[in-house]
Amino acid sequence: MKAIDVIRTALASSEQFTLQLIEDMRDAPLTQPTSTGGNHPLWVLGHLAVVEGSLQEIIGGKPNPVADWQGMFGFGTEPTTNADDYPSFDEVLATYKRLRADNLKLLDALGEAGLDEPVQAPPGLEELFQNAGQAFLVIALHQMNHRGQVADARRVAGRRPMFEPEGAAA
């Protein structure tokens, strides 16, 4: 298996597993995962969109197309439960999907040989973003990190886990 195939698999799997949970919370997107707050599904989705946009900047030096969302969804922002503070769920989801599609095109354009190219603008985590291949893998791992927050928000909303091994107790 080539490195680019591993990256494609990681991106596809993390997206599938994470969006499945987020889209299930479409009717309760502001549900926070703990009694003391936390990153609700809409914030997670917007944050993932901002991170997808940042990949264009990190790898290619192009401006983040959703830089104006940094104040709502960027690192260090505090999620609110006021729907008026955010774009609609559908807008955020469509934006995320468009940015992911753009990044998959970028991955294809880089090809296997381009994965070792140094990134243009590491976001302060140089050891994790030494080259384009690492940057794509960090994006996939980052997405899975936030998946756990959405899973917890689903439980707060009274929803059962989406995957329960046969015979497992809840």
| Structure confidence by residue, pLDDT tens digits, 70-114 | 999 999 999 999 999 999 999 999 999 999 999 999 999 999 999
Region of 158 on the Ramachandran plot (φ > 0 left; ψ -120 to 50 alpha; else beta): left
Average pLDDT, the chain: 94
Q: What band does 164 get if pLDDT is binned at 50, 70 and 90? A: low
Q: By the 8 A CB rule, do 150 and 21 touch?
A: yes
Q: What's the CATH architecture for 3-156?
A: Up-down Bundle (1.20)
- For residues 153 and 30, what is the distance between their CA atoms, to the nearest angstrom? 9
- Domains of the chain by residue range: 3-156
Q: Is 16 exposed, middle or buried (CB count within 10 Å of its CB: 0-12, 13-18, 19+)?
A: exposed
Which pLDDT belongs to residue 167? 62
pLDDT at residue 169 above 70? no
Percent of the chain with pLDDT over 90: 85
Q: What band does 170 get if pLDDT is binned at 50, 70 and 90? A: low
Please give the full DSSP string across 26-52, using - where no structure is assigned.
TTSTT--SBTTB---HHHHHHHHHHHH
